[in-house]
Amino acid sequence: MTDEALLIEQLKNVQTKEKAYIKLVSLYKERLYWHIRKIVISHSDADDVLQNTFIKVFKNIDKFNQNSKLFSWIYRIATNEAITFINKRAKQRNLDISDYQLELVSTLANDDFFTGNEIQLILQEAIATLPKKQRLVFNMKYFDELKYEEMSEILNTSVGALKSSYFHAVKKIEKYIKMKTN
């Protein structure tokens, strides 16, 4: 039995559930945090979404049918939670999601938990100008270094479509940075 299969079994068993859950959190907390953070931008929002993600995992572990890897399943929950979160926030502020994303990035220069340099700030601005899907694909491929097959499982999109999204995203970002720095 693989480590993942054992963990799933322990998570589904009432007697071992809590202990296995602590292991699961410690295994995935950082990777999920950075994935969420790149979507919601602010640390406190990322913290909220990360907690909600693990709560959802804990509550729904019995529904996990093992058609995909456990990590892919959790990653998908985190992605959905983060997107739902920013959609809600944009709605509350009466803003289109792209405008809201740009507004979020515009606050980064004064964010205590953004320690990037000027170029990294421009890179975040460039990412914020991308359509939602391209933004997700770029972050997952460029920063998280996920394989297209893994991304395909998480985002429920074909590998070909993902490659195309990534290509367009990289090109747009390159163009944006060159325009801003020249």
In the list 60, 88, 167, 179, the residue contacting another protein (rule: CB under 8 A) is: 167
Tell me: does residue 170 bind another protein (CB under 8 A). Answer: yes
Is residue 135 a contact point for another protein (CB under 8 A)?
Answer: no
Neighbours of 15 (CB within 10 A): 8
Interaction between residue 43 and another protein (CB under 8 A)? yes
What does the DSSP 8-state code read for residue 111? -
For residue 155 the two structure tokens come to 């985002």
How far apart are alpha carbons 57 and 59 in whole angstroms?
6
CB closer to another protein out of 97 and 121: 121
Q: Which residue in the block uniquely carries the two structure tokens 């491929």?
A: 141
160 forms part of the interface with another protein (CB under 8 A): no
For the bound state, the minimum distance from the C-beta of residue 1 to another protein, rounded and expressed in Å, comes to 25
Q: Give the contact letters, 136-155, x = binds to another protein (CB under 8 A), - = no.
A: ------xx------------
Sign of CA dihedral 97, 99, 102, 108: negative
100 makes contact with another protein (CB under 8 A): no
Question: Is there a contact between 35 and 80 (Cβ–Cβ < 8 Å)?
Answer: no
